[in-house]
Amino acid sequence: MRLPEPRRREPEEGTVPMINIVFLLLIFFMVAGTLTPESPLSVDPAASEAGEAAPEDPIRVLIDAEGRLALGDEVVDGREGLRRRLQERLEEGPERPVEVKPDAEADAERLLEVMDDLRAAGLERVRLITRRED
C-alpha cells in the first residue's frame, strides 16, 4: 500500500516576533526620548550635600556664568526686566514657589542682587537650586 506524500506546509511568517520588536522599539524611544523643557540659558548648578525634592510648577530664575538672567523659559534684560516680569508672574499666581538656579561659576554678587530683587518683590522664601553631590 502506497501512502500519499504529505503536503508540505508553507512556513508561516513570524508576525509575533516582529510585533515584539516593534513594542520594544516603542518602549525604548519612550524611555530614551523623555521630553524636558529647553532651558534658555546653559546653567550648571553648584553641588550640595543635602537637598529635598522641588515643588511642582515653580517660578524659576536662572543665572548663567556670564550673569545673564532668565525667568522661566525667556531671557530677561537685566535686573529691571527681571523685576517687571516677576511682578507679572506673581500677579498670576502669588502662591507659586520661586526657585533661583545659579551657575556654579556665576558671580556671588549677581546672586545676591537677584535675591535682593526677589525680597523687594515681596518674596520671603526663595529656594536655591543646586545639584546633589555624590
- Model pTM score: 0.58
3-class secondary structure, 60: strand
Local structure of residue 131 (DSSP, 8 states) = E
Along the chain (134 residues), what's the average pLDDT of each consecutive run of 10 residues? 81 80 90 70 66 67 87 84 84 79 86 87 80 70
Task: Parse the chain into domains and list their residue ranges.
Answer: 47-132
Multiple choice CATH, 47-132, 3.30.230.70, 2.40.160.20, 1.10.3720.10, 3.30.420.270:
3.30.420.270
| Integer Cα distance of 62 and 104 in angstroms | 12
Residue 111 parent element (H or E): helix 108-120
Whole-number Å distance between alpha carbons of 31 and 34 = 6
Instruction: Copy the grid coordinates of residue 57.
Output: 510648577
Residues facing 48 on adjacent strands: 132
Task: Say what the pLDDT of residue 88 is.
Answer: 83
- Angle, helices 78-92 vs 108-120, to 10°: value is 40
- List of E strands, the chain: 47-48, 59-63, 69-71, 74-76, 98-102, 127-128, 131-132
